[in-house]
Structure 1
């Protein structure tokens, strides 16, 4: 299992870098249920860069926040395309530099979505006019929190890589 303190430290470094570079950020999270937003806001001064966040656990919540239903119908709720729309929608809604979208299934299948594959998570990072989608196979974890921290760790690595460019 991931060490929470190591993940927390990574987000502290990330947030300090975002503050220094005056880069704003937001999230639209499904399977991570706001864990990334929580980690971002654990660092003092995060209000300078974190403008808000959405937890859109259901398909309906994603659509109500602006993810096109056609994207979910065509590609599935668990897809790079849906994660990419989530990232773009939240970035545009809050007018931030970076938007993060996360969708997927952790340790079980979702009875409401036939495209559910346990341990398959998609995320996207929208910056400027570019959105990059990723897929990740998450190994079995002992708790729901461990699944969320696993994904938060991977997303932090990608964010750090992007802002260091």
Structure 2
């Protein structure tokens, strides 16, 4: 996989080329995707904002994740990242959203959702909606970095 800086540049070029504006809704990555994006000069033309929704309360308050979704499926779930992406688009001028929620560790894992489990959501307007789960290995920093890279690599694929 390409380094985060190269993925950010590629994503930015594709967003600009397609007249899209990105918004992120991040939990376990803590704004890492947004930081990588805004490291690119000129990103204000194709990046609107980031919602760092680390707590369940922030997911509900800032981007309208349904409390029932969190109670039934948990924060680290397909259903939650789907609602995070949709909510981020509703509360921004974005046309493309990336959402991410996971367990970076070293604590917090369970048998069903071990440390390294990360759910992703991508939404492009009303035409493309994808969710995906990956279980990464490594320490907390590694899981978070891999998650940021994967989120942008998949965005590049979806926009290409």
State the TM-score, normalized to the length of structure 1: 0.87
1:56-95 superposed matches below 5 A: 56-65=53-62, 66-95=64-93
What does residue 12 of structure 1 align with?
A: 9
Q: In structure 2, list runs of 5 or more residues that go unmatched.
A: none
Query: In structure 1, what is the Cα distance between the partners aligned to 2:30 and 2:8?
Result: 17
Query: In structure 1, what is the Cα distance between the partners aligned to 2:98 and 2:10?
Result: 18
1:1-165 superposed matches below 5 A: 6-65=3-62, 66-110=64-108, 116-129=113-126, 130-141=128-139, 144-164=140-160
Structure 1 segments, 4+ long, off by >4 Å, are: 113-116
State the TM-score, normalized to the length of structure 2: 0.90
CA contact (8 A) 1:24 1:49 kept: yes
What count of residue pairs does the alignment treat as equivalent? 158
Query: In structure 2, what is the Cα distance between the partners aligned to 1:54 and 1:114?
Result: 29
Query: In structure 2, what is the Cα distance between the partners aligned to 1:45 and 1:109?
Result: 38
Q: In structure 1, list runs of 5 or more residues that go unmatched.
A: none
Per-residue CA shift, 1:85-119, capped at 9, x if unaligned? Answer: 111100111031111111010123339x9975311
